[in-house]
Amino acid sequence: MTRFLDVQNVTAGYGSVTVLRGISLHVDKGENVGLFGPNGHGKTTLMRVLSGLMRASEGTCWFNGQDISRTRTPQIVERGLVQSQQGNTLFGDMGVAETLEMAAFSKSARRKAEANLHYVYTLFPRLAERKTQLAKTLSGGERQMLSIGAALMCAPRLLMLDEPTLGLSPRLKEELAQALKEISMNVPLIVVEQDVELLLSLSDRLYLIEHGEVTREIGEENTPDQREIMHMYFGEHAE
Amino acid sequence: MIETVISTLLSGIVLGALYALMASGLSMIWTTLGVFNFTHGALMMIGAFMAWTVSEAIGLGIYAGLVAGIGATALLGVIIEYMVIRPFHGRANMILITVMTTLAVMIILEKSAQMIWGPRLKQLPRLIEGDVSIFGAVISAHEALIVVLAPVILIALWVFATRTMVGRSLRAVGQNQDAAALLGINVPLTFAIAFGLGAALAGLTGVLLGGIRFVTPNLGVEPIIKAMTVVIFGGLGSLGATVGAAFVIGFAEAFLILVVGLYWTPFALFIGLILVLIFRPNGLFGRA
Amino acid sequence: MRPYILPMLAAVLLALVPLVVEDSYTRHLFIVAFVYAIIASNWDLSLGYAGLFNFGHLGFFATGVYTAAIAAKTLAITPWLAMPLGGVTAALAALLIAAPVARLRGIYVVLVTFAFAQLMLQLILSQSHITGGAGGMVGIPGLEIGEYRFIRDRKLGYYHVSLGLLVLSTIHLLFLTKSSFGRSLLALRDNEDYARARGVSIARQRVMALVLSAVFPGVAGGFFAIYLRVAAPEVLGFGTLSLALSMVLIGGSASIFGPILAAIALTFATEAMAGIRGMEEARFVVVAIGMVLVLRFAPGGMIRIMDGGGKR
């Protein structure tokens, strides 16, 4: 089986603080992968490293057969590894339509811009209703939609979503979850999410990340029940 | 009486147009990079001197000089960004550091100009000769051209910023660098473009100034102070705020000269500026 | 007291310098260096310690220069009183500028303080019937006690007055920075929110920092006018600004002694360069390049390199 994304022994951190400690994980062609675990244990840092916003001090990242550990963000995006950041307001003083049009920045994205724009608007009708509205005047949920929509405009071949439903009302969350499922049928996803149930419904495999390492891998054969998940979160391993 | 009012209004428009040109490049670099570019005035001076060299010393005419002035400053802008802005990118106190580095470059440019072109006064030909009479008040055709040119350039700039891919990416980088990079925008390249463009605007302004003032190594000193006043007044937010403030100050200056005289005008303007800042710390049109 | 043994020793040595250095030109350089040292180290109180982006410090110096010049020449007040008067007006100017600065943040502080210094320049140039305009004021009365004029004995008197001012100014700064006021300034600079939560009033601290750092530059300005017997608008030029700023940066901000050492070194260095033909203007270029290089490669300044650490 070909590995679409392969992270090998990646170490990274901020200054003297090491966040990722030799983490390894992978995404195979045609599968969706979920990441979960306590806050501050390296999920967002991993995504920053994969996007080239941060450099790994050790280890390598392979995407679609190419080493991207030293590649710069624009080239990574061009190759199709795209990220929608956590709680991102994108560009406060830009309109919805303007942001989406601009987001198709790379040449490859340019060609599919019209179709993708249509796709984003059907996926998120709320955005279609607010084309000229400035991003900073949108609600939290709408911003999240805009952020995901902008990422889709980049023509992703693998889309990374960092806590897409963070801080949303149950109703909006349901709406967004629906859209995410729809997206996952077209584009492979890596999703970071605290809601493990949502994560399970979106992904084929899950990684539990703690202290900058993968401490557990969950596939279809070993799906945990509610109680087990609670234990993973609160660290009651000494049972 | 009416004539005085008309001529004051007219000189207000001329000043406003000039100030808008002086400040727009400064404002653009600030909104994109978060750098207050103290070299802006010195770049105007370099633009004027380059234009003089090509137009007068070499003798190719003022239009060739205009192109040379703009081209040279754009190139210089890119070099300045690379040498004294980029290395400090991402440092905690980048605003303060770049104030100091651009101040240093300003000194370097001024002293170099003094060594290259000497202290003798030089003058650039006007882009158009002759005078224009409006309701009995007379201004030179060159000044009239500035009044016409300023809105054209500013509108072009606005269209560039809102309608083109590069212009939009400039604004995106100014608002959120990480998010812009994640959409595939090359942030360092965008910085270079913004700085080059801002410098080119300074060069153009310098060539226009050279037609109405003597070209000396100090040509840029008064304009950078004026541009600074404009951006403090308007708030360092948007192009619109900058242009609005430029015309407010232009008219205020024209009328103050009439009321309190030439010497006390800067003082009165400064007091006005302080009052604006006390009541609106983010400028007249600025947002919190 | 231990950490101050070296500076005290340095002060004593500097007081003995005239015994060895007899030519009046070198003594003149020392005097100029002491004046710059006062400007740079006091500027450092607001820029380095308070983290206040203040670029108007030469405005306070110029206030002192012209106050003393006008007081001593136009109003015929004794130079001994005209000098400290410069400190008083400089403090008043600082109080005036502090009102908006206390409320502003970041780049706006830079712009307002910078504009203030430029306004001073324009005021000096435009009010030529009082200030002499671009030509400046000449023939300002010098210092004397009884019949003894301080210019005699190869400027010996002026040398000791300027050194005395530098020592007083340094004690003033040391006292301020070691006091609870100094600590609260650092707290404010490094963590504004925390300091605010602990009840430190930002506006009040900023006003204090600005006023207290303006006094000695004002007195030094007064001294400068009396010593040179000239008051010229060049003190507000970009050349002077870059020189003074580079002393703060190259010496090391928030360190007091760094800027003083840098002031002495740079005064002699630029003066030496001015002696070389063709370098009269180029020396400012050299200083400016030095400033950029220090910011790039030794952001803590030279004093921290000598201490062995690069970081605060």
Determine the pLDDT at residue B47: 97
Point out which residues pair with A215 in neighbouring strands. none
> Backbone phi, then psi, for B275, in 5-degree steps?
-60, -45
What is the β-pairing status of strands A3-14 and A58-63? antiparallel
Q: Decide if A93 touches B, using CB distance below 8 A.
A: yes
The Cα–Cα gap between B82 and B72 comes to 15
- pLDDT band at A1; cut points 50, 70, 90: low
Q: Decide if B164 touches A, using CB distance below 8 A.
A: no
Which residues of B fall within a CB distance of 8 Å from A83?
182
Point out which residues pair with C161 in neighbouring strands. none
Determine the pLDDT at residue A129: 94
> Backbone phi, then psi, for C144, in 5-degree steps?
-155, 150
Determine the pLDDT at residue C274: 82
Residue B264 has pLDDT above 50, yes or no: yes
Determine the pLDDT at residue A161: 94
- What value does the mean pLDDT take over residues A61-70? 93
Determine the pLDDT at residue A2: 74
Determine the pLDDT at residue C43: 94
Taking Cα atoms as reference points, which of C73, C169, C207, C58 lies closest to residue C118? C58
Structure tokens at B216: 């000396």
DSSP B54: I
Residue B87 belongs to a domain: yes
Residue C310 has pLDDT above 70, yes or no: no
Percent of chain C clearing pLDDT 90 (strictly above) = 42
Of A59-63, A99-103, B179-183, C150-154, where does mean pLDDT reach its minimum? C150-154
Residue B190 belongs to a domain: yes
Percent of chain C clearing pLDDT 70 (strictly above) = 96
Determine the pLDDT at residue B57: 92
Of A124-128, B86-90, B103-107, C214-218, where does mean pLDDT reach its minimum? B86-90
- Using an 8 Å Cβ cutoff, are C39 and C61 in contact? yes
Determine the pLDDT at residue C2: 65
Of A178-187, B8-17, C180-189, C265-274, where does mean pLDDT reach its minimum? C180-189
The Cα–Cα gap between C67 and C155 comes to 23
- Using an 8 Å Cβ cutoff, are C41 and C255 in contact? no
Q: Decide if A108 touches B, using CB distance below 8 A.
A: no
- pLDDT band at C5; cut points 50, 70, 90: confident
The domain of B117 spans 16-224
**Which residue of chain B has the CA closest to A79?**
B184
Contact A91 B181 (CB under 8 A): no
Contact A91 B182 (CB under 8 A): no
Shortest distance between the Cα of B159 and any Cα of chain A, in A, equals 13
Contact B184 A154 (CB under 8 A): yes
Of A162-176, C70-84, C213-227, where does mean pLDDT reach its minimum? A162-176
Determine the pLDDT at residue A224: 67
Shortest distance between the Cα of A154 and any Cα of chain B, in A, equals 6
Contact C241 B103 (CB under 8 A): yes
Contact C285 B107 (CB under 8 A): yes
Other CB atoms within a 10 A radius of the CB of residue A171 amount to 9
What is the β-pairing status of strands B131-134 and B137-140? antiparallel
Closest in C119, C246, C287 to B270, CB measured: C119
- What value does the mean pLDDT take over residues C47-58? 87
Q: Decide if B93 touches A, using CB distance below 8 A.
A: no
Residue B36 belongs to a domain: yes
- pLDDT band at C305; cut points 50, 70, 90: low
Taking Cα atoms as reference points, which of B220, B208, B201, B245 lies closest to residue B103? B220
Determine the pLDDT at residue C104: 82
- DSSP element (H, E) containing C21: none
- What value does the mean pLDDT take over residues B98-127? 92
Residue B229 has pLDDT above 90, yes or no: no
Contact C292 B236 (CB under 8 A): no
Contact A77 B183 (CB under 8 A): yes
Shortest distance between the Cα of C19 and any Cα of chain B, in A, equals 38
Q: DSSP letter string over A165-207?
A: TTT--HHHHHHHHHHHHHHHHHS-EEEE-S-HHHHHHH-SEEE
- pLDDT band at B41; cut points 50, 70, 90: very high
Determine the pLDDT at residue C281: 80
Which residues of C fall within a CB distance of 8 Å from B114?
281
- pLDDT band at C102; cut points 50, 70, 90: confident
Question: For residue range A82-104, what is the model confidence (pLDDT) as tens digits?
Answer: 999 887 778 988 999 999 999 99
Q: Any contact of C with A, at least 3 CB pairs below 8 A?
A: no
User: Which chains border A (3 or more CB–CB pairs < 8 Å)?
Assistant: B
Residue B36 has pLDDT above 70, yes or no: yes
Q: Is A238 helix (H, G, I), strand (E, B) or coil?
A: coil
Determine the pLDDT at residue A227: 67
Structure tokens at B205: 């302004």
Which residues of C fall within a CB distance of 8 Å from B260?
none
Domain ranges of chain A: 3-234
* Per-residue b or e along C210-230, where b marks 16 or more CB atoms closer than 10 Å to that residue's CB: bbbbbbbbbbbbbbbbbbbbb
Closest in A77, A85, A147 to B184, CB measured: A77
- What value does the mean pLDDT take over residues B33-47? 94
Which residues of C fall within a CB distance of 8 Å from B99?
53, 55, 107, 110
Chain centre distance of CA C205 = 20
The Cα–Cα gap between B163 and B172 comes to 13
Residue B287 belongs to a domain: no
The Cα–Cα gap between A92 and A152 comes to 19
Residue B147 belongs to a domain: yes
Determine the pLDDT at residue A40: 85
Residue A225 has pLDDT above 70, yes or no: no
- What value does the mean pLDDT take over residues A13-17? 85
Which residues of B fall within a CB distance of 8 Å from C108?
232, 277, 281
Residue B20 belongs to a domain: yes
- pLDDT band at A226; cut points 50, 70, 90: low
Determine the pLDDT at residue B288: 44
- pLDDT band at A232; cut points 50, 70, 90: low
- What value does the mean pLDDT take over residues C88-102? 91
Q: Decide if A137 touches B, using CB distance below 8 A.
A: no
Q: Decide if A225 touches B, using CB distance below 8 A.
A: no
Put simply, the chain B residues between 165 and 194 with a CB less than 8 A from any chain A CB are: 165, 168-169, 171-172, 175-176, 178-187
Shortest distance between the Cα of A83 and any Cα of chain B, in A, equals 6
Residue B98 has pLDDT above 90, yes or no: yes
Determine the pLDDT at residue C306: 58
Residue B84 has pLDDT above 60, yes or no: yes
**Which residue of chain B has the CA closest to A81?**
B182
Which residues of A fall within a CB distance of 8 Å from B185?
74, 105
The Cα–Cα gap between C202 and C51 comes to 12
Domain count of the fold of chain B:
1
Taking Cα atoms as reference points, which of C52, C48, C43, C14 lies closest to residue C31? C14
Residue B276 has pLDDT above 60, yes or no: yes
Residue B285 has pLDDT above 80, yes or no: no
**CATH number of the domain at A3-234, please?**
3.40.50.300
Of A68-72, B121-125, C114-118, where does mean pLDDT reach its minimum? C114-118
Contact A106 B184 (CB under 8 A): yes
Residue C308 has pLDDT above 60, yes or no: no
- What value does the mean pLDDT take over residues C188-217? 84
- What value does the mean pLDDT take over residues A137-157? 92
Question: For residue range C62-93, what is the model confidence (pLDDT) as tens digits?
Answer: 999 999 999 999 999 999 999 999 999 999 99
Determine the pLDDT at residue C312: 37
The Cα–Cα gap between B220 and B105 comes to 13
Q: Decide if C272 touches B, using CB distance below 8 A.
A: no
Determine the pLDDT at residue C309: 40
Q: What is the mean pLDDT of chain B?
A: 90
Q: Is B119 helix (H, G, I), strand (E, B) or coil?
A: coil
- What value does the mean pLDDT take over residues A110-116? 91
* Per-residue b or e along B190-205, where b marks 16 or more CB atoms closer than 10 Å to that residue's CB: bbbbbbbbbbbbbbbb
Determine the pLDDT at residue B262: 81
Q: Any contact of A with B, at least 3 CB pairs below 8 A?
A: yes
Which residues of B fall within a CB distance of 8 Å from C292?
83-84, 101, 104-105
Chain centre distance of CA B275 = 24
Other CB atoms within a 10 A radius of the CB of residue B125 amount to 17
User: Which chains border B (3 or more CB–CB pairs < 8 Å)?
Assistant: A, C
**Residue with more model confidence, A162 or B278:** A162
Shortest distance between the Cα of A173 and any Cα of chain B, in A, equals 23
Reported ipTM: 0.88
Q: Decide if B111 touches C, using CB distance below 8 A.
A: yes
- DSSP element (H, E) containing A12: strand A3-14
Other CB atoms within a 10 A radius of the CB of residue B149 amount to 15
Determine the pLDDT at residue C1: 58
Which residues of B fall within a CB distance of 8 Å from A90?
175-176, 179
Contact C100 B274 (CB under 8 A): yes
Q: Decide if B228 touches C, using CB distance below 8 A.
A: yes
Residue B250 belongs to a domain: no
**Residue A34 identity:** G
Contacts of C256 (CB under 8 A, 6+ apart): C41, C44, C170, C173, C174, C177
Determine the pLDDT at residue C188: 80
